[in-house]
Amino acid sequence: MNIKKALEYDQELYSIKFSELVSFEFKLLKIKEFNLFDKLLKGGNMPPFFIYEEIFNLCFIGNLGFLPKTLPIGYIITTGQLIHKLSGGDSGEEFLLNIARERQRQPANSIYEHMKSVILWAFSAISLKDIENMTEKEFIRNFVTAENLLIKTKPDYKLLDLKKIHEEIFETATPEKPTTEARHDHQAMEQELGYWEVKEAEDKFIQEEIERIKAYEKSRS
C-alpha cells in the first residue's frame, strides 16, 4: 500500500490481493453511503452484483479507466461485497465484538484518552479528526491550554496528576493486599489460595482471554 497516498486521503485505506497481478486498494463506505447500498440490497429490486460493482466504483482508490478491459468482473464484485461487509454489514454479535476490540485499543483510563477528552471538553470547535491531525507537540500544547481554561471556568476541575502517574509507571511499589471493600467471593479466594496465588490466577485468566481473542480473530481472517 502507498503510505503517502493513505496519508493524503486522511482516512483508513484497505487492500485486497487476489494474485501477483490483481490487487486493489479501497476505502470503506461512509455511514450514509452504507445505509443507501444496504437498503438497495435488502430491497431486492436490483441484482446484488450491480450494487457491489457500484460500491467498488465508489470506494476504489485509483483510476477505474486504468483497469484492464480483460479483468474478470468477479474480482470487482467480490471486492465490492467485502467493502460492504467491512463498512457495516456484520451480524449483531460481530458488531458487539468490534466495540469490544475498539475499547481495547482505546482504554478509557489511558492518558491519551484523558487528554483527548479534556481538549474536546474545553474547545467545542475542535473535532476528533482535528486531534488526529495534530503533531504530538501540538497535542500536548492544546491539552495544557485546555486545562488552563478549565481551571478558570470549572472550579471542580483537577489537573492531571503527573507525579502520581510517574510513580505508578516508573517506580516499583510494594503490592498491597486488597482492602475490606473487596467483594466477598474475592476474599474467599484469597483465604483459600493466598494473595499471590490469586494474582497469578487472575493473570492467567487475562492471558487466556487474550489468546482466545487472538484465535477468534485469526479464524475470521
Q: Report the CATH architecture of 3-89.
A: 2-Layer Sandwich (3.30)
Q: Which residues are CB-contacts of 87 (< 8 A; sequence separation ≥ 6)?
A: 28, 29, 33, 34
pLDDT of residue 201 exceeding 60, the answer is no
Average pLDDT over residues 37-57: 93
Q: State how far the Cα of 205 lies from the Cα of 30, in Å rounded to an integer.
A: 38
Contact between 198 and 186 (Cβ < 8 Å): yes
Cα 112 from Cα 191, distance rounded (Å): 38
Please give the DSSP secondary-structure letter assigned to residue 159: -
Average pLDDT over residues 22-34: 92
Cell numbers found for residue 151: 481551571
**Res 198 pLDDT > 60:** no
d(C-alpha 83, C-alpha 205), whole Å: 35
Burial class of residue 20 (count of CB atoms within 10 Å of its CB; 0-12, 13-18, 19+): exposed
pLDDT above 90: residue 147: yes
Any idea which of 29-38, 103-112, 160-169, 197-206 has the lowest mean pLDDT? 197-206
Segment 147-153 shows an average pLDDT of 93
Q: Is the pLDDT of residue 33 over 60?
A: yes
pLDDT greater than 80 at residue 205: no
